[in-house]
Amino acid sequence: MLSFGRRILRFAAVVSAALLLVSCGKKESSEGEQRTGCVSAITRYFRSVNETGMAKEYYELTFPKEYIKRVRDLEKYDDMLMCYESRMECETAHFVTSPVFGEITVRNELTEKQLSSVAAYYKNIYSIDPPAIEAGYLVIFRYTNGLGEDELKKVCALELRNDSWKIIESDIKEIESSFSADI
């Protein structure tokens, strides 16, 4: 459990990042709504990969609803959550300090070709019909890892129609090189 001081520090870092953030979200949304959706997804994702007890949050942020439903129908979801929690307990045991989210430094809107590659990614990885993507961004954020070292992380943040914001834990260049835009 984090000490009160560390929780305050983490809260301050998240609030600072939100205030300094370039907006990302639906083009037709208000600026406040744009920031809220993407920033919330990025900060929730960060917590889910750096704290125990966040397996459900992690999968809701990284897997499409349709895939989660399929895994639940196969009665494998609870096992998946337990495996993730076990892995996180092992990983966080080596932390010398609590990871701290810094700020989002880059937010680049994905091109139509890149969005097509993302759709191919979803079709190939999750064996589902490609979801309609409302908005998509390459996001780079700064953070301090569990060893106290400063790092940058590249992810794709996507708003899926009839779903929610999703995070793909890869740079768009990796997705483009691995998945053909021809779906």
20 domain-assigned: yes
99 domain-assigned: yes
Alpha carbon of residue 62 to chain centroid: 6
- Cβ atoms of 166 and 137 within 8 Å: the answer is no
Q: Which helix (H) or strand (E) holds 154?
A: strand 150-160
26 domain-assigned: yes
pTM over 0.85: no
**Domain extent for 147:** 4-178
Residue 33 confidence (pLDDT): 56
- Cβ atoms of 161 and 134 within 8 Å: the answer is yes
88 domain-assigned: yes
Choose the weakest-confidence range: 10-14, 39-43, 168-172.
10-14
Q: How far apart are CA 145 and CA 124, in angstroms?
A: 31
183 domain-assigned: no
Please indicate whether residue 4 or residue 66 has the higher confidence score (pLDDT).
66
The stretch 84-107 carries a mean pLDDT of 94
- Cβ atoms of 6 and 98 within 8 Å: the answer is yes
Is the pLDDT confidence value at 95 over 60? yes
Render pLDDT for 7-34 as a digit per residue (tens, 0 to 9): 433 433 333 333 333 334 444 445 445 4
Q: φ and ψ at 109, to 5 degrees?
A: -65, 140
Give the chain's domain count: 1
